[in-house]
Amino acid sequence: MTRRRDQDLTVGEDAFLDTTANLVGILIILVVVIGAGTKTAADQYSRQLADSVDTGILDEPAREANARQQSLQEQQLRIHQYVMEATYRKAERDALLQEVALTRESVQQAMQEVTDETRQKVIGQQMLGDLRRQISEAQEKLAADEAHPRPQVILEHLPTPMAKTVFSREMHVRLQAGQVTVIPWDRLVESLKQHVPLAASRHQSRPAMEETLGPIGGFLMRYRMQAIPGGFELERFEIESVQAPTETVAETLSSTGRLRLELAGRDPAETVITVWVYPDSFAEFRVLKSQLFEEGFLTAARPLPNGIRIGASPNGTRSTAQ
Per residue in 119-147, pLDDT (tens digit) is: 677 777 788 888 888 888 887 777 766 65
Residue 185 near residue 219 (C-beta atoms within 8 A): no
pLDDT digits (tens, 9 = 90+) for 191-243: 888 887 777 777 667 777 788 887 888 888 888 877 777 767 778 888 888 88
Average pLDDT value over all residues in the chain:
77
Domain boundaries, the chain: 1-37, 64-113, 160-183+244-322, 187-242
Residue 272 near residue 319 (C-beta atoms within 8 A): yes
More confident residue, 151 or 180: 180
Provide the pairing of β-strand 219-228 with 320-321. Answer: unpaired
Nearest to 225 by CA among 192, 191, 190, 187: 192
Binning pLDDT at 50, 70 and 90, where does residue 262 land?
confident
pLDDT score at 278: 92
- Return the minimum-mean-pLDDT range out of 78-82, 157-161, 195-199, 260-264: 157-161
Supply the DSSP symbol for 277: E
pLDDT digits (tens, 9 = 90+) for 60-89: 777 888 888 888 888 888 898 878 888 888
pLDDT score at 165: 46
pLDDT score at 110: 66
pLDDT score at 170: 85
pLDDT score at 319: 47
Question: For the whole prediction, is pTM greater than 0.75?
Answer: no
Residue 228 near residue 305 (C-beta atoms within 8 A): no
Q: List all residues 6 or more positions away from 266 whose beta carbon is below 8 Å from its beta carbon.
A: 169, 171
d(CA 239, CA 1): 158
Omega of the bond leading into 245 within 30 degrees of 0 (cis): no
Residue 167 has pLDDT above 70, yes or no: no
d(CA 46, CA 36): 15
